[in-house]
Amino acid sequence: MSTTSQLYTASQFTPVDSFTSGVEGPACDRAGNLYAVNFERQHTIGKVTPSGESSVFLELPRGSIGNGIRFDSYGDMYIADYTNHNVLRVNMAACARATTLADRNAAISVYGHEPNMNQPNDIAISAQDVIFASDPHWGESWGQIWRVDRRGRVSLLETRMGTTNGIEVSADERTLYVNETVQRNIWAYDLSPEGDISNKRLLLQFEDFGMDGMRCDVDGNLYVTRWGKGTIAKVSPQGEVLLEVELAGKNCTNIAFGGPDGCTCYVTVADRGNIETFRVERPGRAWQLFQR
């Protein structure tokens, strides 16, 4: 558990401009390593050790550029490839055996492909390894939600929404949260074990600034990146803003839980091209499911 004096105080984790302004992701593996997209240059996946040592982990193929990253119950990585309308899968066991970057790159495959996507952006994953992808059309300020099942089959769940962006499964697996950056809404849906959604309802609407990625802790609170404001809003399952964490950067893009106890938050920050970090009391949902 964290001590009170350490909580909700952000600090720099990686150097400014160590990533491009397209820095996103992020996600932690079972060893505590953090991964985020566009380290040093576009098309890459960067790996940052718990001590802060950074390196290129993967180079994505055929013009692919990553956005959201998630891990499944087997420890494999999934990447939203927005330029080629894919969800990519990375065989992490093969990566662990690899001795070169080229060998690791060979562990990348297309898991789900859908040409009718605008662009798979952020992704969420259930305890049953069902993937959900937000799909914004930035130019026209609308978006969609897609599901990718355990066989890589892609299904459209909803279309003609606002600009869908952050997406997350609740701690009890019964709710799917999706936010709309331009419209500043966070929506909640009932989520079935099969990955169907229903009973759409508004959880929260912010009066200003945008939103990007979101993650849940084990108590069901949402941690929401406030693009342009430079804060992380902690939101209760009832839609109450409990607190906000001030960051050095303004354009925060996404957040993940990690560290030895799952209580370290890592935030990707576009305008500084780096990652910031802070501590919280309770671990993240995905960390408890897949990384501990």
Q: Which residues are catalytic?
A: 212
Question: Side chain identity at 85, as an amino acid letter?
Answer: H
40 within 8 A of 46, measured Cβ to Cβ: yes
Task: Report how far residue 111's alpha carbon sits from residue 64's, in angstroms, rounded to the nearest whole number.
Answer: 14
Task: Report how far residue 218's alpha carbon sits from residue 48's, in angstroms, rounded to the nearest whole number.
Answer: 24
Task: Report how far residue 8's alpha carbon sits from residue 25's, in angstroms, rounded to the nearest whole number.
Answer: 21
Structure token pair of residue 169:
């499964």
DSSP assignment of 183-244 equals TTEEEEEEE-TTS-EEEEEEEEE-SSS----EEEBTTS-EEEEETTTTEEEEE-TTS-EEEE
